[in-house]
């Protein structure tokens, strides 16, 4: 295991106890500042596979605020691998914090128009003849899900409901793989209108795994990917003030909001023991204006 990942720092934070319900948060944000949350879990088997097969150049895909991009850049530097990021959208005048960091870790950035970016097959062809190992956008794929399934090692069987934000759906697929039959995995879709996500998740699951309990909720996106209306920012500050729980505006704040909203709506039966996954990505808050967050 690479020494830069600190698994011993992951802990369970108790948030709420009522007569009927317990809510805890597992703090995967603590394992590393940049390679936090699910990103190392998803990357590990791809990188092993790449190294085993003799590749020394990783190519992956993502947007300007992608935690996956910056995590891949950092890990590749640590493992002495060359790496290239194919970035969705034209190059902006100023690089986002995320991309500036990725570049400073040695990632080479290639910008593509949204239209070009959609055609991953064409992009892959541009590297024809070069010895490169491709990792899908957001680490999407079976090896990514296999790695993410190990996150369940921190969540014991007594938890009945496990909530986590979904982007590519890779982590959710992994959580489902490792879930016990009585555990329900609830994904909070942070994007608007990508009804295809549940299919992308199912593609990573066997028929048996598809019989397990899981749900994807599509109404907690707050306007869409990375959208953060004032109410959401206020909620993040509230989480900090009441629980000293840091969240990011893209993923974790929306998951926590959903958790409390579902409790209010009596979604969880009495006796439920809920685990919320704090999945890192706090670096994304660097792109918010200064002073709007209390942490
Ligand atoms: C990447 C990420 C997710 C989404 O993970 P997927 O496997 O792409 O669904 C959720 N939360 C945080 C903080 C992330 O960085």
- Antiparallel, parallel or unpaired: β 273-278 and 161-166: parallel
Taking the centre of ligand 1 as the mean of its atom positions, its distance from the CA of residue 127, in whole angstroms, is 27
Taking the centre of ligand 1 as the mean of its atom positions, its distance from the CA of residue 38, in whole angstroms, is 6
**pTM of the predicted model as reported, rounded to 2 decimal places:** 0.97
Measured from the Cβ of residue 216, the count of other Cβ atoms closer than 10 Å reads: 16
Whether the predicted pLDDT of 195 surpasses 90? no
* C-alpha to C-alpha distance for 88 and 123, rounded to whole angstroms: 12
Distances (CA, A) of 108 to 8, 16, 279: 32, 44, 26
Q: What confidence score (pLDDT) does residue 213 get?
A: 98
- Does ligand 1 come within 6 angstroms of the Cβ of 38? yes
Q: pLDDT tens digits, residue range 120-155?
A: 889 999 999 999 999 999 999 999 999 999 999 999
- Does ligand 1 come within 6 angstroms of the Cβ of 68? yes
Q: pLDDT tens digits, residue range 234-288?
A: 999 999 999 999 999 999 999 999 999 999 999 999 999 999 999 999 999 998 9
Q: pLDDT tens digits, residue range 22-42?
A: 999 999 999 999 998 999 999
- Does ligand 1 come within 6 angstroms of the Cβ of 279? yes
Q: SS3 helix, strand, coil % of the chain, rounded to 5?
A: 40, 20, 40
Can you tell me the mean pLDDT for 89-99? 92
The answer to whether residues 103 and 74 touch, using CB atoms and an 8 Å cutoff, is: no
The answer to whether residues 151 and 277 touch, using CB atoms and an 8 Å cutoff, is: yes
Q: What confidence score (pLDDT) does residue 288 get?
A: 92
Q: What confidence score (pLDDT) does residue 1 get?
A: 63
Taking the centre of ligand 1 as the mean of its atom positions, its distance from the CA of residue 149, in whole angstroms, is 13
Q: How confident is the model at residue 2 (pLDDT cuts 50, 70, 90)?
A: confident
């Amino acid at each position: 295991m690479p020494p830069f990942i600190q698994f011993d720092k992951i802990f369970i934070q108790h948030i709420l106890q009522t007569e009927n319900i317990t809510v805890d948060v597992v703090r995967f944000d603590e394992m590393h500042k940049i390679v936090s949350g699910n990103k190392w879990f998803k990357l590990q088997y791809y990188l092993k596979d790449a190294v085993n097969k003799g590749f020394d150049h990783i190519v992956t895909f993502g947007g300007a605020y992608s935690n996956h991009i910056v995590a891949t850049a950092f890990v590749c530097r640590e493992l002495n691998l060359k790496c290239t990021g194919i970035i969705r959208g034209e190059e902006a005048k100023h690089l986002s914090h995320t991309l500036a960091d990725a570049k400073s870790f040695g990632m080479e950035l290639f910008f593509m128009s949204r239209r070009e970016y959609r055609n991953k097959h064409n992009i892959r062809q541009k590297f024809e003849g070069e010895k490169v190992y491709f990792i899908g956008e957001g680490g999407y794929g079976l090896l990514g899900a296999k790695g993410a399934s190990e996150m369940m090692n921190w969540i014991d069987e007594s938890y009945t409901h496990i909530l986590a934000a979904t982007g590519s759906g890779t982590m959710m697929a992994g959580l489902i793989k490792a879930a016990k039959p009585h555990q329900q995995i609830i994904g909070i879709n942070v994007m608007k209108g990508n009804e295809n996500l549940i299919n992308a998740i199912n593609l990573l699951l066997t028929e048996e795994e598809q019989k397990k309990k899981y749900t994807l909720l599509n109404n907690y996106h707050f306007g869409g990917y990375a959208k953060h209306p004032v109410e959401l920012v206020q909620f993040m500050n509230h989480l900090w003030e009441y629980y000293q729980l840091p969240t990011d505006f893209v993923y974790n704040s929306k998951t926590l909001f959903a958790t409390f909203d579902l409790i209010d709506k009596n979604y969880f039966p009495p006796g439920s023991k809920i685990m919320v996954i704090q999945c890192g990505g706090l670096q994304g808050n660097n792109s918010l204006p200064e002073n709007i967050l209390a942490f």
